[in-house]
Amino acid sequence: MHAILLGLTVLAAVGERFPEWMPEPRADTALPASIGRTLSAEELKALESAQPLTPFTGLSCGVRLPDGSIWVGSPGGLMHLVPGAPHWRLFHSRRWLPDDRVLALAAPSNEQLWVRTPAGTVRLVRRWWTLEEKMAEIHARLRKYHLREGFCCEIVLKQPGQPEAGYTQPDNDNDGLWTALYVAAEAFRFGATGAEDARRNAWQSLQTLMALEAITGIPGFAARSFVPIDIDKSGDRNWYRSADGKRWWKDDTSSDEVVGHFFAYFVYWVAAATEAQKQQIRPVVARLADHIIDHGYYYVGPTGKPTTWGVWAPEKLNRDPRRLGDRGLNSLEVLSHLKVAEFITGNPRYARAAGELIDRHGYAANAVWQKIEWPLNVVNHSDDELAFLAYYPLLWLERNPELRTIYLWSLERSWHYERPEGSPLFNFIYATAHQASQWREPGQRPPRGLVPAERYDREVCLEWFRRVPADTTAWTIANSRRRDVGPTTRNRFGQLCGSRVLPIDERLMLRWNADPYQLDNGNGGFTRGDGAFILLPYWLGRYHRLLE
């Protein structure tokens, strides 16, 4: 039975149906009879000292099913173990249960499990669907709740986990970056399926990115965000009234946002753009790149001074000790941006600028060391996301053998540290770099995957997609109480982190800039992520035929 489930969970083709547990609250408290054998108190106690370790002790109830799998309840949640599995699977938090304290359980079949807690009863039912059906459901909720003037945004809920009860859509400093990821996801969906609604959706949000640049009145300088004028920002720092008086826009744009813009324009250009749309994209990309070059590799806003994090200048990255941590990443970023600008515009200016940064200032060599892996309390997972978004176009476009070798060294080094996280986004971008070594037409979809599945951990990616919750509510999840997370340390924010990355459905992670090792997260279900962090790697993988 375990082998069958493993095959369904990991190795099955993308179009095949797979089972996923779904919670259904129940008003009744009476539990049905189980098909398995109820475990005695002695058996429960023995499980606590057996291997693999149960995440919690004090087991309250349990049942062993005919296929050998075990369900047990504890003060910390519901646990499931299939024969041969290296770890127990934990169902906890309001994502799954009304209360983590499990009082009783029953398994009337292999397809459902009933759980009674002090706060109510829930039935877990296995839903059979395909990955594409799952992505469609996630996307439908994104379209319904998470779009604001083309921005793709997190929402704040009036009632925990209930967007239908009311919500707000606050602006965010990274509105441009998060929207860019949605643009790319829908552009890849169009490229993979030809669905016209995907191109319409992507173009709508790409126009919002264009508006971020246009609204400032500064060629090539994109705002962080904008809101209608009736949302009073007059007393808030870094907000400016637009020239037409209809909106407020936010200054101090970071390099993060610029990465998102170039990534979105490149992906849309190669996967979805019509010739008419390319005519609109080309001058925007040129202005973005020209602004960076003309201002000495700084991003300069309305104050006439560089923004806090808009810095790619050699005198800062190479000679200012305070910017040492930015040297590798920002060198990689600007080389990627210039390569995208050269590709989209055909203007040799950008190749010359990149050549100067490489030959005179060592930016290609800098990029090799972009990943800072030690000490752990300074590791920046947001930088990991930005690096891989920059790697994607750079390694898809770069054809100089020497530079390509250097950039692949950088990517290999970065992926060595990222691989244990099991990120499908990072794994697939890693694969596309090697795919591009064999397929040299960046404007065309590859005819097949071209990269062995084991090289980019395809099975790990498939398992992630099958287990990532379609519910993107920020339920409070506390894993620091578990005894199976290994030695702990603290990250740069002082938050407790485990020594292994827990499965995606046992933790909370709603964006790729988060720390996957972080044990505790959430806010009681009062915010909801947009889900684009799931859609982007899925459709990138589909476009590049890495999931086929």
pTM of this prediction?
0.95
What are the backbone angles phi and psi of residue 300, rounded to the nearest 5°?
-115, 120
Q: Does a structural domain hold residue 202?
A: yes
Instruction: Indicate if 396 and 462 belong to the same structural domain.
Output: yes
Three-state DSSP class for residue 99: coil
Q: What angle do CA 336, 418, 441 make, to 5 degrees?
A: 40
Cβ proximity of 496 and 480 under 8 Å: yes
Domain that holds residue 319: 134-543
Q: Where are the alpha helices (DSSP H) in 362-400?
A: 363-368, 381-397
Q: How many domains, in total, are found in the chain?
A: 2
Contacts of 475 (CB under 8 A, 6+ apart): 93, 94, 95, 160, 161, 508, 522, 524, 525
Q: Does a structural domain hold residue 63?
A: yes
As a whole number of angstroms, the distance between CA 298 and CA 279 comes to: 27
Per-residue pLDDT reduced to its tens digit, 447-464 = 999 999 999 999 999 999
Point out the domain boundary residue: 127, 142, 176: 127
What are the backbone angles phi and psi of residue 154, rounded to the nearest 5°?
-70, 150
Instruction: Indicate if 162 and 145 belong to the same structural domain.
Output: yes
Point out the domain boundary residue: 69, 104, 127: 127
pLDDT score of 375: 62
What kind and span of H or E run contains 247?
strand 247-250
As a whole number of angstroms, the distance between CA 249 and CA 374 comes to: 37
More confident residue, 408 or 12: 408
Per-residue pLDDT reduced to its tens digit, 117-148 = 999 999 999 999 999 999 999 999 999 999 99
Structure tokens at 66: 């005919």
Point out the domain boundary residue: 75, 99, 127: 127
pLDDT score of 237: 92
Other Cβ atoms closer than 10 A to 407: 24
Instruction: Indicate if 243 and 331 belong to the same structural domain.
Output: yes
Q: Above 80 in pLDDT, residue 3?
A: no
Alpha carbon of residue 291 to chain centroid = 29
pLDDT score of 10: 37
pLDDT score of 362: 98
Q: Above 90 in pLDDT, residue 77?
A: yes
Q: Does a structural domain hold residue 208?
A: yes
Instruction: Indicate if 90 and 185 belong to the same structural domain.
Output: no
Instruction: Indicate if 329 and 452 belong to the same structural domain.
Output: yes
Q: SS3 breakdown of the chain: % helix, strand, coil, rounded to 5? A: 45, 15, 40
Instruction: Indicate if 427 and 489 belong to the same structural domain.
Output: yes
Structure tokens at 455: 């090289």
Q: Does a structural domain hold residue 20?
A: yes
Q: Where are the alpha helices (DSSP H) in 437-525?
A: 458-467
Interval 252-257 mean pLDDT: 98
Q: Does a structural domain hold residue 299?
A: yes
Q: Does a structural domain hold residue 548?
A: no
Other Cβ atoms closer than 10 A to 148: 20
pLDDT score of 5: 38
Q: Above 90 in pLDDT, residue 417?
A: yes
Instruction: Indicate if 309 and 431 belong to the same structural domain.
Output: yes
Q: Above 60 in pLDDT, residue 8?
A: no
Residues in the chain: 548
Cβ proximity of 475 and 522 under 8 Å: yes
Cβ proximity of 104 and 116 under 8 Å: yes
Sequential DSSP letters for 318-387: TT-GGGGGGHHHHHHHHHHHHHHHHHHH--THHHHHHHHHHHHH-HHHHHHT-----SGGG--HHHHHHH
State the burial class of residue 429 (Cβ atoms within 10 Å of its Cβ: 0-12, 13-18, 19+): buried
The CATH number of whichever domain residue 431 belongs to comes to: 1.50.10
On average, the pLDDT of the chain sits at 95
Q: Does a structural domain hold residue 377?
A: yes
Instruction: Indicate if 394 and 484 belong to the same structural domain.
Output: yes
Q: Does a structural domain hold residue 462?
A: yes
Instruction: Indicate if 151 and 284 belong to the same structural domain.
Output: yes
Instruction: Indicate if 92 and 181 belong to the same structural domain.
Output: no
As a whole number of angstroms, the distance between CA 103 and CA 420 comes to: 35
As a whole number of angstroms, the distance between CA 75 and CA 58 comes to: 7
Q: pLDDT-based confidence at 11, cuts 50/70/90? A: very low
Instruction: Indicate if 74 and 187 belong to the same structural domain.
Output: no
Amino acid symbol at 52? P
Least confident range of 21-35, 285-299, 384-398, 447-461: 21-35
Cβ proximity of 48 and 59 under 8 Å: yes
Contacts of 154 (CB under 8 A, 6+ apart): 146, 170, 172, 178, 510, 527, 528, 529, 530
Per-residue pLDDT reduced to its tens digit, 263-281 = 999 999 999 999 999 999 9
Instruction: Indicate if 118 and 139 belong to the same structural domain.
Output: no
Token pair 């940064």 is at which residue? 357
Q: Where are the alpha helices (DSSP H) in 146-225?
A: 175-193, 196-214
